[in-house]
Amino acid sequence: MHEMIWSDEAARARDAGAPLVALESTIITHGMPCPENLATARAVEGEVRGAGAVPATIAVLDGRLHIGLDAAQLERLARLPGPMKLSRADLAVALATGASGGTTVAATMIAAARARIAVFATGGIGGVHLGAERSWDVSADLQELAQSRVTVVCAGPKAILDLPKTLELLETLGVPVIAYGQDALPAFWSPASPHAAPLRLDSADAIAAAHLARAALGLPGGQLICNPVPAGDGIPYDDLAPLIAQAAAETETAGIAAKQVTPHLLRRLGAATGGRTLTANIALVRSNARLAAAIARALQTVPG
Ligand code: PSU
């Protein structure tokens, strides 16, 4: 019961020892509107293949945990009516009840670690929300980064979050937050936030070596790679900050809480920017998929 279902493509890569990249699916079920979600999911898988690795989109369909989806399953996921948003707390209940849904960063890390996939690409991780001192809203993604040994490639914590508090908590949890190729912490739609990243690495080889060094030390938990959104697709941090503050305040006043907060804010910011945040989101997740593939390949060649 409850074994993982591998796609043919991902199983072939596993058996051949080819580099695999896990991809999450809450971005498909809750992070983007249809049909952009499906087009993006296909494009992201294509980026991984184009960069010499094999994609494994992770999701739950009818109570089965899938490691890799075929074309029909990906399309079904993108069009699911009322999908669940599955994090660490929900995963087992979904499997036991035959439910379907997208896996968050936290749940995808759990699945990737079980499937022995070392590298995972997403858009932006969850973190400490603005107003957390009142709402106590802190994403389970942070705790998972401290537990599951997976290198997660994102474009930084989502800009809708309280970035200094998110960095503080990641430091407490012992999670390495590594900016790729720059000193500033990227902030999802924005290539740079006003905050310095705690660590910086400049190549896929260096990231792979750090992943292996962590394992050799016997440390649980992963690394968070923050890859700035490609120049030209990003939105300057100062342009977005007031829109984010306003949307976060409205969300709190409207009583939107828990799992609904992030999808709601992503939709609000899309509307407030005439779709620019969606364009940036698509570009950044594609770019993260390319970097994740390069890291997965480097893991096979750098000395451990
Ligand atoms: N990246 C995106 N869009 C998303 C997400 C990531 O570009 O929608 C999802 C991830 O699955 C992440 C989740 O785990 O948002 C965070 O949700 P919350 O803040 O409720 O933990």
Q: How far apart are CA 187 and CA 205, in angstroms?
A: 23
Ligand 1, residues 262, 264, 269, 282: which to mutate, most atoms within 8 A of Cβ?
262
- How many angstroms separate the alpha carbon of residue 124 from the centre of ligand 1? 6
- How many angstroms separate the alpha carbon of residue 139 from the centre of ligand 1? 9
Residues with CB under 6 A from ligand 1: 24, 26-27, 30-31, 104-105, 122-124, 126, 139, 141, 259, 262, 281, 285
- 36 catalytic, yes or no? no
The whole-number pLDDT of residue 304 equals 78
Residues near 239 by beta carbon (within 8 Å), at least 6 away in sequence: none
Residue of the nearest CA to atom 21 in ligand 1? 139
- 259 catalytic, yes or no? no
The whole-number pLDDT of residue 1 equals 57
Class of domain 5-301: alpha beta
Q: Tokens 């998929």 correspond to what residue?
A: 289
- How many angstroms separate the alpha carbon of residue 46 from the centre of ligand 1? 21
For 263-299, write each residue's pLDDT tens digit: 999 999 999 999 999 999 999 999 999 999 999 999 9
Contact (CB, 8 A) for 107 and 88: yes
For 189-222, write each residue's pLDDT tens digit: 999 999 999 999 999 999 999 999 999 999 999 9
Among candidate residues 149, 146, 150, the one with its CA nearest the CA of residue 127: 146
